[in-house]
Amino acid sequence: MIYLFVNNSERVLVKYKQNSLSKQFKCYRGKENVSSKIEWRDPWLIALFTFHISIFMMALLTRNYGNFQALLFFCLLLLVYFSESINELASTNWKIFSRQQYFDSNGLFISVVFSIPILINCILMVGSWLYQSTQLMTNLKVAQLKEQIRKEQEKEKQKNKEE
């Protein structure tokens, strides 16, 4: 039995049953929930969620290390870029690591459980960089204003000395 996820205006779970003579499609709508059909305790899914949590923690803990974050950001975007190839590889070899076939030709499942969490981490990293940039620009402007005030005070002191 293979589960395929169809991307329509409403959620549809298609149960694909392959017999030697014919192929039958049965659609379940309404009360059937797509997430209830997924075996969340599958070891590879647990490993994937552990990977996402560790990447999030790594991004959080290394937010002050710009070079490492840039490398991590680049690697994460490469993973998202190659997710289609990963999906094709996983769809041909799913019996090795999974109990069910999750990897359809549209790539919906891998997009939801693999690419979207990675992209969320990348967005958080960019947000952190923007926040750090605004803080740096604010500190720079405050330092410039302090220097300007100090120079004006020195000029006033020199004027007072000359008088």
Residue 123 pLDDT > 80, yes or no? yes
Residue 47 pLDDT > 90, yes or no? yes
Q: Are residues 73 and 144 in the same domain?
A: yes
Axis crossing angle, helix 66-81 with helix 116-162, rounded to the nearest 10: 150
Q: Are residues 52 and 18 in the same domain?
A: no
Q: Are residues 21 and 88 in the same domain?
A: no
Residue 10 pLDDT > 90, yes or no? no
The answer to whether the pTM exceeds 0.85 is no
Complete DSSP assignment for 84-138: HHHHHHHHHSHHHH-SS----TT-HHHIIIIIHHHHHHHHHHHHHHHHHHHHHHH
The parent domain of residue 31 ranges over 1-37
Evaluate whether 17 touches 26 at the Cβ level (below 8 Å). yes
- Confirm whether 162 is domain-assigned: no
